[in-house]
């Protein structure tokens, strides 16, 4: 008990450093405390030793994600591989996300006009993201030309897959690394009477289980950031695209390097490293990197847009939902991986504010 009091004191100080209301942070951390003690007991860890490490830190140098990373590294990171980490992350967190935000597990697109009707309607903003992505890629709407076979690469629980199936009356094959997501997605699909059109399965996006040229729309909504080999990733997207098929990649990137730069600034890279630790991400790349990779594949109509400003309200809204009473209850019982991800949300906001993180859409078409 004495050890937890010490830990709680540290977290009180940390909450003031982070500039968030102490009451909200302490509600979260009190719930976390129960989980921390239980987990460390079961893992044979000594919480007092962790607090001893923390006391040696200078509080003013602490930031939320690295502190939590210290706490959880002994529990999770030792022998985890990237794919296992990604699958476990979504196995654990998808239920919480669905309960709080519904079936679409991606950013919303918010019109920059302050008078827009979707500024505070976050679920509508997620649908707007899908529609604007289709419009940007110039996916045809006519019955004669619209896509009939679609692949959703990194599909979550199938929100986009079902939306695209309804919109185009298309057959959609959806893949995810998470068995929990695939199973849950198929249940939702059946409940919506779409099983004849949509199928979710567990598969690796870098080794897709589909024949060459199978799909006239290749859709990747916020999965590219998880791919350790970006060249292989876009190569697979191009391989399964049918002649004339369109490829849509919506993903997190870091900023383009400026003239004379060979890498990001150390402060920027350090922030990305913390985000990678929390969300099981390999090395990031820039929008220009994606563009160059796509050019090597003899695709046409390759184009890119920066939608960072249009997703600005998203992460604060997610943070607000996590810090609601209902969110805190669910977060505290969701598991370590999800709690870690929740505590790293502020780093995403910081990255956007710095101009470091770019929310990119990159599209292309496979020649006939």
**CATH (domain of 223):** 3.40.50.150
Residue 117 counted as domain residue: no
Please say whether the dihedral angle defined by the alpha carbons of residues 67, 344, 10 and 266, taken in this order, is positive or negative.
positive
Same domain, 168 and 263: yes
Which pLDDT score is estimated for 117?
Answer: 56
Considering the domain architecture, whether residues 176 and 304 belong to the same structural domain is answered as yes
Considering 30, 62, 94, which residue would you say is the last residue of a domain? 62
Please give the pLDDT value at position 311: 95
0.85 surpassed by pTM = no
What pairing do the DSSP bridges indicate for beta strands 241-254 and 357-365? antiparallel
Give CA–CA dist 277/284, Å, rounded.
Answer: 12
Whether residues 143 and 257 share a domain: the answer is: yes
For residue 262, the model assigns a pLDDT of 93
Residue ranges of the chain with per-residue pLDDT less than 50: 1-80
Q: Is 326 among the domain residues?
A: no
Q: What is the pLDDT of residue 116?
A: 57
Same domain, 162 and 41: no
Are 200 and 161 in contact by the 8 Å Cβ rule? The answer is: yes
pLDDT value at position 92?
87
Please report whether residue 48 resides in a domain.
yes
- Out of 62, 82, 109, a domain closes at 62
Same domain flag for 148 and 261: yes
Is 26 part of any domain? yes
Residues 184 and 46 in one domain: no
Number of domains in the chain: 2
Is 180 inside any structural domain? yes
Are residues 297 and 152 part of one domain? yes
Write down which residue in 43, 62, 81 finishes a domain. Answer: 62
Q: What is the torsional sign of CA 131, 134, 137, 141?
A: negative
Instruction: Give dist(CA 368, CA 356) in Å, integer.
Output: 37
80 found inside a domain = no
84 domain residue, yes or no: no
pLDDT at site 13: 38
- 170 and 32, same domain (yes or no): no
Domain that holds residue 33: 1-62
Are residues 49 and 196 both part of a single domain?
no
Both 165 and 278 in one domain: the answer is: yes
Shared domain for 171 and 56, answered yes or no, is no
Co-location of 256 and 143 in the same domain: yes
């Amino acid at each position: 008990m004495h050890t937890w009091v010490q830990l709680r004191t540290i977290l009180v100080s940390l909450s003031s450093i982070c500039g968030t209301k102490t009451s909200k942070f302490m509600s979260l951390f009190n719930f976390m405390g129960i989980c921390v003690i239980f987990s460390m007991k079961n893992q044979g860890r000594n919480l007092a030793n962790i607090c001893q490490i923390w006391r040696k830190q200078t509080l003013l140098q602490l930031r939320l994600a690295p502190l939590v990373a210290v706490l959880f590294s002994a529990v999770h990171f030792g022998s985890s591989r990237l794919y296992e980490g990604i699958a476990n992350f979504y196995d654990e967190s998808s239920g919480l996300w669905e309960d709080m935000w519904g079936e679409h597990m991606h950013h919303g697109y918010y019109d920059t006009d302050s008078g827009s009707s979707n500024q505070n309607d976050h679920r509508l903003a997620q649908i707007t993201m899908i529609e604007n992505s289709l419009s940007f890629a110039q996916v045809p709407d006519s019955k004669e030309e619209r896509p009939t076979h679609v692949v959703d690469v990194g599909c979550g629980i199938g929100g986009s897959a079902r939306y695209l199936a309804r919109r185009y009356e298309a057959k959609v094959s959806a893949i995810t690394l998470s068995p929990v997501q695939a199973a849950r997605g198929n249940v939702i699909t059946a409940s919506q009477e779409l099983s004849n059109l949509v199928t979710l399965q567990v598969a690796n996006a870098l080794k897709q289980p589909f024949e060459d040229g199978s799909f006239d729309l290749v859709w990747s909504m916020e999965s590219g950031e998880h791919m350790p080999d970006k060249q292989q990733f876009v190569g697979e997207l191009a391989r399964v695209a049918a002649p004339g098929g369109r490829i849509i990649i919506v993903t997190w990137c870091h900023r383009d390097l400026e003239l004379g730069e060979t890498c990001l600034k150390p402060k920027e890279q350090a922030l990305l490293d913390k985000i990678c630790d929390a969300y099981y991400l390999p090395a990031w790349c820039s929008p220009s990197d994606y563009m160059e990779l796509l050019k090597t594949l003899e695709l046409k109509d390759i184009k890119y847009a920066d939608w960072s400003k249009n997703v600005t309200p998203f992460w604060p809204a997610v943070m607000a939902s996590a810090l609601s009473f209902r969110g805190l209850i669910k977060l505290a019982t969701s598991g370590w991986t999800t709690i870690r991800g929740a505590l790293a949300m502020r780093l995403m906001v910081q990255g956007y504010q710095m101009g470091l993180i770019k929310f990119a859409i990159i599209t292309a078409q496979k020649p006939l």
